[in-house]
Amino acid sequence: MKRSHSAGSTGAAKLVPFCPVCETQYGSASVAALGKEGETELVHLTCRSCSTGVLAVILNGESGSSSVGVVTDLTVEDARRFRRSRRVNTDDVIEVHRLFSDAAWTQTFLPRPVRRPRVKSTAKTPAKRRQAPLS
């Protein structure tokens, strides 16, 4: 798999020097550049010790660089996939609102009760005792 690292990725490891969960230092190999737009760059950092992911926005301004990061359960591949995917628009939100306004959505998404197959017992059940006729 091809990994892309920009010059900013090395800077990302300096701006976000260690994992916020276990405090292990990031190396440059832990940083994947996801995209750049103007002065900002989006990177994904993966802790080599605890595998925690961090999405960080690096701002490279004239007066210096700064970063904002958030812990995520997205892998690098997840982050790339979501970045490429279509943006959610107003029609998508209205469609979801309509879907959940109708109680029938539960039929679509909630798990259905599992029907257990009938198991034929091979064990012989004791014959019913005949009741003696009352005299």
Q: Which of the stretches 31-39, 46-54, 55-63, 93-101 binds Zn ion when contact is defined by CB under 5 A?
A: 46-54
User: Does 50 participate in binding Zn ion (rule CB under 5 A)?
Assistant: yes
Q: How far is the CB of 15 from Zn ion (least distance, A)?
A: 17
Using CB under 5 A, which of 13, 19, 58, 79 touches Zn ion? Answer: 19
What lies within 8 Å, CB to CB, of 93 at 6+ separation is none
Sign of the four-CA dihedral 24, 28, 33, 39: positive
Using CB under 5 A, which of 6, 21, 40, 75 touches Zn ion? Answer: 21
Q: Where are the beta strands (DSSP E) in the chain?
A: 31-37, 40-46, 53-61, 64-72
Site string for Zn ion, 74-93 (x = CB under 5 A): --------------------
Between 23 and 39, CB nearer to Zn ion = 23
Whole-angstrom Cα distance, residue 7 to residue 33? 9
What lies within 8 Å, CB to CB, of 27 at 6+ separation is 13, 48
User: Does 47 participate in binding Zn ion (rule CB under 5 A)?
Assistant: yes
Q: How far is the CB of 123 from Zn ion (least distance, A)?
A: 56
* C-alpha atoms less than 13 angstroms from C-alpha of 119 in its C-beta half-sphere: 4
Q: How far is the CB of 73 from Zn ion (least distance, A)?
A: 13
User: Does 52 participate in binding Zn ion (rule CB under 5 A)?
Assistant: yes
